[in-house]
């Protein structure tokens, strides 16, 4: 099977851009990725584009050029971008295309995500009691995890503080004001134990990556980044996930993040000990903590010591969310996972500037998780 490699990345800043349509942001990100790859839009043979708010994201071809390219729309919750990347890579691996693109874009209104519970097959009472807000779920989930594994409120604050500090070094991030753990702990409680500055916020942005066959990469770049594996898993019976109306009875079932992580490691022939830098879904500070263990990067409960020691800092043993993560960048759903890929590619190229991790990183890891219980993992390497 032919290997897919990344030869170009592009990122439109994340934030709020009144008057600028999501499709225009997406077109800007695509142009940056094409320039980075050294290719023109007519050379792209196929691609996948994801968005939550834009019903027909493939209309972006009107901004880029009507070349007849098969550009397929995808949506898979917060795992949308991971899905687009996996499909674009698969098109190369199977020989369908030699040059592909993955694009993500979104423009969300202010406020937490909410909808009619019926769209997820849940009774109306679930929404009437306020439980359909994801902020409630994540608060309950980390509260239980803290009780079971000895995670402190201070550790939650340290995670958020780290991500805002990293975002301050990222010119394309949204929240670039550093906050101390003490300032974060002093902010209002939204859903116990999570406070105002421990949550990410829906916002606007776009990202794109260009891929080609590994044996043709020399025509475009001297630093291709290998797509070692992609994996996507949905929830299994008995798992406690976003929008679950009850806690499962009986033996606990692994989350889809655990399942996707294991599949990705096995496919890549790489273990957690090989990961040099990681991007984890930090919908809230507690999610980053839980996902460290669910992705095999530590054991449950070890996060307290690792985070206190600075292991997840840019200069630590395992830097996590070096660009600020969702906390620092916000989450335009369709683009969020491609932002993660963008950051890992920069880190592996040694081109991340003020937030570049030390040494020569060789393996990068990205993870997405969202409603109603879907997770995507991508492993990249030099």
Q: CA 272, 147, 296: angle at the middle one, nearest 5? A: 5
Q: Can you tell me whether residue 175 is helix, strand or coil? A: coil
**pLDDT score at 135:** 86
Cα gap 335→102, rounded to integer Å: 10
- Residue 232 near residue 374, CB atoms below 8 Å: yes
Residue in the block written with tokens 């879904």: 281
Q: Which positions of the chain have pLDDT values less than 70?
A: 114, 245
Q: Beta strands of 108-196 (E only): which ranges? A: 189-191, 194-195
Q: What is the pLDDT of residues 340-357, one digit of tens each?
A: 999 999 999 999 999 999
Question: What pLDDT does residue 126 have?
Answer: 78
- The predicted pLDDT at position 125 comes to 84
What DSSP state is assigned to residue 3? P
d(CA 161, CA 144): 22
Secondary structure letter of residue 78 according to DSSP:
B
Any bridge partners for residue 104, and if so which? Answer: 50, 207
Interstrand relation of 99-107 and 46-50 (parallel, antiparallel or unpaired): parallel
How much is the pLDDT for 127? 78
Per-residue pLDDT at 114:
66
Strand 363-370 versus strand 374-381 pairing type = antiparallel
Cβ contact 91:46 at 8 Å: yes
Q: Give residue limits of the domains in the chain.
A: 2-108+197-379
- If 0-12 CB within 10 Å is exposed, 13-18 middle and 19+ buried, where does residue 292 land? buried
Q: SS3 for 110?
A: coil
The SS3 of residue 316 is coil
DSSP string, 54-71: -S-GGGGHHHH------E
Domain spanning 2-108+197-379: CATH 3.40.47.10? yes
> Which pLDDT does position 273 carry in this prediction?
97
């Amino acid at each position: 099977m032919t290997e897919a490699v990344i030869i170009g990345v592009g990122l439109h800043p994340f934030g709020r851009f009144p008057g600028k349509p999501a499709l225009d942001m997406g077109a800007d990100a695509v142009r940056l990725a094409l320039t980075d790859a050294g290719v023109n839009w007519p050379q792209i043979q196929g691609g996948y584009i994801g968005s939550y708010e834009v019903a027909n994201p493939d209309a972006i071809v009107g901004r880029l050029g009507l070349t007849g390219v098969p550009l397929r729309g995808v949506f898979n919750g917060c795992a949308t971008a991971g899905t687009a990347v996996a499909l674009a890579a698969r098109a190369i691996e199977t020989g369908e295309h030699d040059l592909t693109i993955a694009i993500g874009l979104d423009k969300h209104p202010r406020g937490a995500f909410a909808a009619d519970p019926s769209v997820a097959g849940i009774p109306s009472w679930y929404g009437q009691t306020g439980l359909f807000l994801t902020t409630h779920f994540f608060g309950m989930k980390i509260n239980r995890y803290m009780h079971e594994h000895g995670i402190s409120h201070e550790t939650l604050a340290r995670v958020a503080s780290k991500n805002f500090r990293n975002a301050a070094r990222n010119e394309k991030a949204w929240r670039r004001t550093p906050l101390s753990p003490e300032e974060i702990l002093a902010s209002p409680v939204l859903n116990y134990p999570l406070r105002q500055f421990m949550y990410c916020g829906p916002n606007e942005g776009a990202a794109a990556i260009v891929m080609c066959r590994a044996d043709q990469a020399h025509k475009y770049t001297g630093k291709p980044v290998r797509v070692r594996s992609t994996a996507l898993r949905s929830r299994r019976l008995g798992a406690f996930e976003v929008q679950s109306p009850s806690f499962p009875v009986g033996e606990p079932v692994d989350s889809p993040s655990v399942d996707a992580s294991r599949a990705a490691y096995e496919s890549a022939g790489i273990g957690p000990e090989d990961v040099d830098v990681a991007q984890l879904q930090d919908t809230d500070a507690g999610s980053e903590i839980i996902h460290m263990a669910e992705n095999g990067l530590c054991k449950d409960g070890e996060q307290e010591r690792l985070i206190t020691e600075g292991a997840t800092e840019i200069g630590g043993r395992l830097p996590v969310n070096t660009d600020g993560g969702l906390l620092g960048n916000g989450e335009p759903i369709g683009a969020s996972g491609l932002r993660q890929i963008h950051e890992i590619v920069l880190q592996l190229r040694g081109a991340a500037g003020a937030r570049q991790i030390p040494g020569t990183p060789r393996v990068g890891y990205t993870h997405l998780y969202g409603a109603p219980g879907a997770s995507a993992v991508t492993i990249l390497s030099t």
